[in-house]
Structure 1
Amino acid sequence: MKPLADIRVIAVEQYGAGPFGSLHLADLGAEIIKIEDPSSCGDVGRYVPPYADADDDGEDSLFFETFNRGKRSLSLDLSTTAGREVFEDLVEHADAVYSNLRGDVPPKMRLTYPDLRHLNPRIVCCSLTGFGMTGPRAAQPGYDYILQGLAGWMALTGEPDGPPAKSGLSMVDYSGGFVAAMSLLAGVHAARRDGQGMDCDLSLFDTALGLLTYPATWHLTAGFTPVRTRHSAHPSLVPFQVFQAADGWLVVGCAKEKFWRRLAGVLGLPDDPRFATFADRQRHSAELLAILEQAFLTRDVAAWLADLEPAGVPCGPVNDVAAALADPHTLARGMVVTTEHPRYGTVTQVASPVRVGPAPETYRRAPRRNEDFDYVTRDLLGYSPVHIAELRGAGAFGA
């Protein structure tokens, strides 16, 4: 049995951040029942290009496959009385209600604990929003790109003489998903222990600010002003950055004095009092980096790694995505998995990095829209054919 096989989550989720969080719960065995609004043709992630087209129904993008592996889908119109009835029946059979909407929407849609506790006192209502459900920005939409700018990330990313830059990946969204998944599990644990559920008010804004970590502490406590650094250099450790070799780039980092001594040995550098300690190397960083940059240009990346890795110097190539996915360690760690899909055939994607016990032997693809209608209505909720017909006629499942 998978670790979370006894947890059921009703997910009013869409696009990236929310589905990314529940993806890892699904891989660990939780039953994620994904509620998709029939009036908008379900999760907008189903239609994200470029790998989505109109060859058939056009509803199964590879973007959607990435974030919804292992879940179930039910088309349900929560704006109707009949749709709300089905939703409330699901709440009675669930451990958590999970959503990622604008901050003012969960109360309007009655997805909070005060709205649902009469149905299930142990229900955990986990709301991941852009800015949270309180504060002056609560009603604003929150997107990863905007939050990277708002939370200071872009001011720290890129070359000093270039424009502010975002991360190449949607790291606020993905980190927010992890925060939401962790909070949901903590909430379910507490609800089972205490017999009472709760609200979990989570936001991408809080996530982005929380990830400022030690630069925030330095600024708030000592007045430090973070800046963009040349060649992605660490703000205080020298050397710890990318270096250009004859045929590409590599990262070399000396986070301990022993690593600097090993690097100096590989490069054949003489003892120099200017570079003796962390403080010395930071004080004389311009002189030191000029020496190192000239040295690294003389050989290929592979040649440098062949010397640096056996010497115990922390280092690695700057891979492109193809090289990262083909790295022998990627394969050895089981980080590439496959599912079978009726439209795409074999879909190959990355696994969840969350490991609890043995890794799953097989993975289930993302659901087609409303694929699990019969399972949810008949098997889980025990509705009769007559009741299902009545609900359908009342618009519970869309037009």
Structure 2
Amino acid sequence: MKSFKTLKDDFIKNRWRIAIGLLALLMVDVLQLFIPRVIKHAIDDLTTGAVSSSGLLVYAGEVLILALAIGGLRYVWRYLLMGVARRIERALRDRLFSHLQSLSPSYFIRSKIGDLMAHATNDIEAVRMSLAMGLVFLVDTVILGLLTLSFMIYIHPGLTFYAVLPMPLITVITVFFSRLIHERFETLQKTFSSLTERVRESIAGIRVVRAYVQEDVESEKLSTISREYIRKNLDVTRVWGMFFPLILLLSNFSLAIVLYAGGRLTILQAISTGDFVAFMSYLGILAWPMMALGWAINVMQRGGASLDRLNRIFAETPEISDGPETIPCGPLKGKIEIRGLTYPWKNGANPILQDIHLTVREGEKLVIVGRTGSGKTVLCNLLVRILEPSGGSLFFDGMEVHRVPLSALRGSIAYVPQDTFLFSDTLRENIALGKPDASDQEVEDAARTA
């Protein structure tokens, strides 16, 4: 549950929806416990012959009214609680995307695109499921379980004691299996990331694959990862497959105990026939929280494992960001000064750029040429701080580059990288990427100029 602390602000923002949804869920749990009471009185009256057809119609009407109320309130909690889960899903995805955009290029060099795609889809979906159904199952288990036990104790405390004998075993089994599910699901998500990355690489490099007749090799690589993904899925299924039947076995064990002990009490007239039927109904209702506990643990552990993976991304900080020395400023006018700029290789060998001095005045044009690897691209990346220049070496309009906000710096520079990329949008939107409010004439002029 520690993983979900990062969603605290989202819970606070949606606190009223959550509160009303949980209240509706509580009312559903309470109301459905009154149906066995109505049936109990009807059976007792039938046994003694103290009920007429009109009396049975009254009992049937009470059950119908309770059913309608339960149906309406169930709609309310499903709409509110599942709606909150969807809202948090959207906020989490937006937050992830915004955070990824703030990270430095080095993060994307060491991270697989397929892994990031899995975070944005599979992991967020698992978190949503844990918030929607996991929360409901967990609350339902506690509230409905305790209320049902209260009604059972009211009928006969001793019989209730026998009915709950298997429950300590359920707690032990739940703690044991929850750890296994969490570990195995996190491993499964990592395998899914590898599978996604393998597919992405194969599609992105399809021309190279065909040119070198590597279709069979790529197919075998994908098949290998697919088999591994299936195996990891089966590992999770194997644990989950053992957990659910064990819970159901203990539930049926309680049913057998109550059938024998409760039947004897009815024969001895310690409880009425209606009480016995109501008690059996409550035991059937109690079976749901026992089974829901398994669903809740499974869904919550899956969501927790996925949120752990997302939290590791949120813990990443950009290597290049605005510092305390940054001062607000408007668009830059265009004067660039480079004073003794030196930029080393990462391995500490001879620097790519060494002791560069240069001044470009506002409105002046400058072309820099050089052989491959001479540092032209590195210089451009330093100007927009995609790479970090050393302090006191780069100035814009007389201001040291670290004092200029990144938004103002990059918003004032038109940067055309070597790599070509088209977004899945219209040509107009691609041309107007840096100026979304550009007029049609401006877009056409830019296209003709290019």
TM-score by length of 1: 0.22
TM-score by length of 2: 0.20
Bigger radius of gyration among the two: 2
Query: Greater helix share, 1 or 2?
Result: 2
Query: Greater strand share, 1 or 2?
Result: 1
